[in-house]
Amino acid sequence: MDDIVVGTREGVGTVRFNRPERGNSVTPEVVERLGDTVQSLVETGEVGAVVLTGTGSVFCAGADVKDMFEIHTSQGPDGLMDYLGETWMPAVQRFVRLLWAAPKPVIAAYNGAATAGGLDFGLSCDVRLAARSARFAESYVNLGMVPVAGGAYLLPKLVGLPAATRMFASGAFIDAQEALRLGMVTEVCEDEALAERAHEVALEMTSGPIATFARAKGIARAASTVELHAALDESLAANIDLIARPEVRSRILDVMERYAQARARRT
């Protein structure tokens, strides 16, 4: 099965996380290909907008714990921490920067749960729609980390500082209706209608010249772009510092232990 599914219809490109057996979670290799795919689509004249969505009942669960566990098994705790700081987090941030800077409209269609980096990928897009069954959580706090994929900056811009701070601190889920009330998403659709509605919105956003949209987006986001890049740098530095701390390191290693136990029960 391909980890990413790409399609084009009526000038709208669709990029779909396609790892449903892994909750559409991502590895550095997968997220790098996602970025390359989006960049390739927005550079072709045949595509006027891009929809980012997922296969199955989950949009994206963030980091692939299986991938992390394999690094932990082969390289030990220190190797895992190095991997997170030097490989995983920079790869995720590259994807966010590409989504944010895309010169054509990018619409996130949250088809299901979106947590941690999965939530943040959608926050980097121009418009966000949600299926009624979708749920959202900035669940980095469960690992003792701060949102590294832009959420620390983008979420407060969308929902306000008090609501965002509560999500950062608790890691708790909110449902699609609450996300709509807060302004995180602009529409909530029935699950079966989401894909078509996202396609319609994408088409609506291609009514003008591509160059005009690119210039308007660049002007509208100019100040925020500087701030986002600074926030990405700061969140990466913060997490590198945090994962060196015993209380954070132990949280990450506890996840590895729970994964190992669950894996043993399945075999």
Q: What is the pLDDT of residues 33-78, one digit of tens each?
A: 999 999 999 999 899 999 999 999 999 999 999 999 999 999 999 9
Give tens-digit pLDDT for 182-214. Answer: 999 999 999 999 999 999 999 999 999 999 999
Give the orientation angle of helix 246-266 with respect to helix 65-83, to 10 degrees. 150
CA 264 vs. chain centroid, Å, equals 30
Residue 131, token pair as written in the block: 């299926």
Q: What is the pLDDT of residue 267?
A: 67
Q: What is the pLDDT of residue 265?
A: 79
Q: Cα(69)–Cα(76) distance, rounded to whole angstroms?
A: 9
Residue 18, token pair as written in the block: 């396609």
Q: What is the pLDDT of residue 1?
A: 57
Give tens-digit pLDDT for 112-143. Answer: 999 999 999 999 999 999 999 999 999 999 99
Residue 263 binned pLDDT confidence (cut-offs 50, 70, 90): confident
Distances (CA, A) of 146 to 108, 195, 252: 22, 31, 13
Give the residue numbers spanning the domain of 228. 4-266
List the beta bridge partners of residue 58: 113
Residue 46 dihedral angles phi and psi, to the nearest 5°: -80, -10
The single-letter code of the amino acid at 105 is P
Q: What is the pLDDT of residue 259?
A: 84
**CB atoms inside a 10 Å sphere around CB 91:** 18
Q: What is the pLDDT of residue 12?
A: 97
Q: Cα(152)–Cα(83) distance, rounded to whole angstroms?
A: 21
Q: What is the pLDDT of residue 150?
A: 96
Give tens-digit pLDDT for 79-97. Answer: 999 999 999 999 999 999 9
- Looking at every residue in the chain, the average pLDDT score rounds to 95
Residue among 87, 104, 107 nearest 40 (CA): 104
Q: Cα(257)–Cα(267) distance, rounded to whole angstroms?
A: 16
In this predicted structure, which of 64-73, 99-108, 153-162, 226-235 has the lowest mean pLDDT? 64-73
E strand intervals along 65-220: 106-110, 113-115, 127-131, 135-137, 174-175, 187-189
**Residue 114 maps to which CATH number?**
3.90.226.10
pTM for the complete prediction? 0.94
Residue 4 binned pLDDT confidence (cut-offs 50, 70, 90): very high
User: Per the structure, how many domains does the chain have?
Assistant: 1
Share of the chain above pLDDT 90, in %: 93
CA 109 vs. chain centroid, Å, equals 11
Q: What is the pLDDT of residue 266?
A: 76
